[in-house]
Amino acid sequence: MSNDDRKVEIYKQDCGFYRYQDLMMWSRFQTAATVEAGFLYGVIKVTEVSSDQLHVLMLAAAALVFLICVLSLKDHCDARRFLRRIKTFEEGINLPKSCWPCWLRGSYLMVLAIVIINLVNIYLVCERWA
């Protein structure tokens, strides 16, 4: 196996790892959004649970959403690491550049959504606690 064949094989593996990490990131983000929806529904609709139980449930749901978001951000960082290696390999090849500004790409908007979701959770927990 020549050196170029090895580089191509490494490139293919990096592309596979990138796709896997990117898929994991979005899957975890969708899971966090689903848990968040249940959390918000519970805050609005649950009335037959005592105040102390509701506080515990709210904190648990907010902590779960935060943990899933942290895992999603970890996957985002891992995917970017593979993407940097892929782009280094592709430097000699003329490939079309993305026409979207950097801040409008999906992963950056996902990070913004994660921040907003967790700020809403903090607000709801603090408001219910008071």
DSSP string spanning 6-23?
HHHHHHHHHHHHHHHHHH
Segment 94-100 mean pLDDT: 61
pLDDT of residue 103: 55
Containing structural domain, residue 9: 3-129
Q: Which pLDDT belongs to residue 44?
A: 78
Place of tokens 């603090």: 126
Structural contact between residues 122 and 62, judged by C-beta atoms closer than 8 angstroms: yes
Q: In angstroms, rounded to a whole number, what is the distance separating the alpha carbons of residues 70 and 92? A: 35
CB 57 within 8 A of CB 49: yes
What is the arithmetic mean of pLDDT over 33-44? 85
Whole-angstrom distance, CA of residue 12 vs CA of residue 45:
49
Count the domains in the chain: 1
**What average pLDDT does this structure show over 16-29?**
91
Tokens 């975890």: give the residue: 28
